[in-house]
Chain A
Amino acid sequence: MKINPRLKKDLKSFLLENIQKEQNRVLVMSADILGFDERQVLGKKFSDLNWSQADYQVDRSIIAGIIIKVGSKTIDLSLMGSLSKLSNTLYEID
């Protein structure tokens, strides 16, 4: 069965667009719901990111602070992350 080349092209561009969107999609996780001021500050601090389609989630396990995920990349500014880093540092020390 032969696929229509135009259809194939459209499908390809749609999938690429979706992947691009997914890659640029920002997910912010925090222990409590972030207020407007905090979101403003975030937007200023990370101006390279696309904040128009940002998702905000609450995760109590991070204790305090935030975790920002963009695609497959993560920036961990939470207390849980700091504790985890501290733990790794302690393991590295002989």
Chain B
Amino acid sequence: MENLGIDGKLLLAQMINFILFFFLVKKFVVKPFTAFLNQERTNEEEKNKLLEKLKKSEEASVEAEKKAKEKMKKEFDVLFIQAKKEAQSIRADLIKQAEIDALEIKDKNKKLLEEEKNLLYREVKDKIIKTSLMIVESALKESLDEVSRKKVTGAIIKNYEGKVNFNEN
């Protein structure tokens, strides 16, 4: 062995050294490292589980939100239709009321116009009658002299054929 250049003692020492190194490494390095790895793996698994849980929770919440949105939409649609119907009903009522008011105003104005027309007619008639009579009276007074007046008076008395029918004062 010595001829081969191998030192038995050194080899033994190296082997012992190696074994010692192996045990020491195994005990103080590999074991904690393995434990650390295991711990990390466990943590990772827990994290994954948590993530999965969170994902599921998120999905559930998304689903719930979707359902809530659908429900809201349905409620909104129902309310919208109801509001639309009510608005149409109110609109119809308003139109009806407006029509009634318009008719009333029209009738009132018509009556007013008719009254004003009648009033105007009476005023015009009154003025025409008064003016006509004034003209006739004036013309008679101017045109009849004493002789004519006497003739007219005589004719009236002669032509009077009625009974003695006096007017009460």
The number of chain B residues with a CB under 8 A from chain A is: 26
Assembly CA distance A71 to B151 (angstroms): 28
What are 5 sample pairs from A and B whose C-beta atoms fall under 8 A apart?
A: A64-B149, A73-B169, A77-B160, A80-B137, A91-B125
Closest to A82 in B: B156
Q: How far is the CA of A51 from the CA of B167 in the complex (A)?
A: 19
Complex: A64 Cα to B157 Cα, angstroms: 11
Q: Please tell me if the beta carbons of B167 and A41 are within 8 angstroms of each other in the complex.
A: no
Residue pair A75, B154 in contact (C-beta under 8 Å)? no
Task: Name B152's contact: one of A49, A65, A68, A86 (CB within 8 Å).
Answer: A65
Which 10 A-B residue pairs are closest in the complex by CB-CB distance? A73-B166, A64-B152, A64-B149, A65-B156, A72-B169, A90-B129, A31-B149, A74-B167, A63-B140, A77-B156
Residues of B within 8 A of A (CB): 125-126, 129, 133, 136-137, 140-141, 144, 146, 148-150, 152-154, 156-158, 160, 164-169
Comparing A3-11, A14-22, A32-40, the segment that makes contact with chain B is A32-40
A91 and B129 contact, CB distance less than 8 A: yes
Complex: how many Å from CA A31 to CA B149?
Answer: 7
Question: Which parts of A41-94 form the interface with B (CB within 8 Å)?
Answer: 41-42, 45-46, 48-49, 63-66, 68, 70, 72-77, 79-80, 83, 86-87, 90-91
Categorize the interface residue count of chain A. Answer: 20 to 34
State the A residues within 8 Å of B (CB).
Answer: 30-32, 34-35, 37-38, 41-42, 45-46, 48-49, 63-66, 68, 70, 72-77, 79-80, 83, 86-87, 90-91
Partner of B144, one of A34, A63, A74, A90: A63
Residues in chain A near residue B154, CB distance under 8 A: 37-38, 41
Are B144 and A64 touching (Cβ within 8 A)?
A: yes
Q: Given the complex, which residues of B lie within 8 Å of A37, measured CB to CB? A: 154
Q: Residues of A contacting B148 with CB < 8 Å? A: 64
Residues of A within 8 A of B126 (CB): 91
Complex-state Cα separation, A49 to B156, whole angstroms: 18
Given A32-B149, A45-B160, A75-B164, A83 and B136 contact (CB-CB distance below 8 Å)? yes
